[in-house]
A and B are shown apart, each in its own frame.
Chain A
Amino acid sequence: AQTVTQSQPEMSVQEAETVTLSCTYDTSESDYYLFWYKQPPSRQMILVIRQEAYKQQNATENRFSVNFQKAAKSFSLKISDSQLGDAAMYFCAYRSAMSQGGSEKLVFGKGTKLTVNP
């Protein structure tokens, strides 16, 4: 079974600075999808960015970008120019690309709590 590990329970960053959140995963599959979700205090889970494993190019969404290292099974999230509204729990998630029963689920890491200091 696939597992997702977020080794940083908490991180903090100064407003306008850059922070990187780590995520590693364990899988024997070659094709899959990776996601970062944000959960602010409102509790709503919001998709931040996604990466397809067969694409070597790192995904970017405005101030959010990923560093995808397939061989190392690493998928870190970089937030540039951090804003107070970025304060939240961030979850890394994995989804198999195999079209078989039970593979549509997302497997989540335990999350990293990001604090943004003014």
Chain B
Amino acid sequence: DAGVIQSPRHEVTEMGQEVTLRCKPISGHDYLFWYRQTMMRGLELLIYFNNNVPIDDSGMPEDRFSAKMPNASFSTLKIQPSEPRDSAVYFCASSLYPVNYGYTFGSGTRLTVV
């Protein structure tokens, strides 16, 4: 098992550009989560999916952020247009149901918007 795979590991982009972060969950996991980590706000849940369906997107900061899960093995988080305040580490995590045993996290994508 390769674990949760995120790409890219690092992304540097200019303000106003579109950014797409990618995630491949562990095969067979029912849940997929996107978190953002910053020094000021810590780890914040952005959105999560159950069986490819978005369940809670209340943490998505604004309309510039969108997430999709077209199938059980792939999810994307897109920011368009990007802003410097979006700079953070973005984590993807997946889990079996029930989520009592915690998540398995990917290695994260460090996004820098200049």
Interface residues of A (CB under 8 A from B): 33, 35, 37, 42-47, 50, 52, 91, 93, 95, 97, 99, 101-102, 104-111
Contacts and interface: CB of A to CB of B under 8 A. Distances in A.
Contacts of A95: 99-100, 102
Interface of B: 31, 33, 42-43, 45, 48, 50, 55-56, 58, 89, 91, 93, 95, 98-105, 107-108, 110
Contacts, number: 61
Contacts of A43: 89, 107-108, 110
B108 A47 contact: no
A102 B102 contact: no
A44 B105 contact: yes
Contact of B55 (A99, A102, A107, A108): A102
Contact of A45 (B93, B95, B101): B93
Nearest to B101: A50
A105 B91 contact: no
Contact of B56 (A37, A47, A105, A109): A105
Contacts of B104: 47
A7 to B, nearest CB: 14
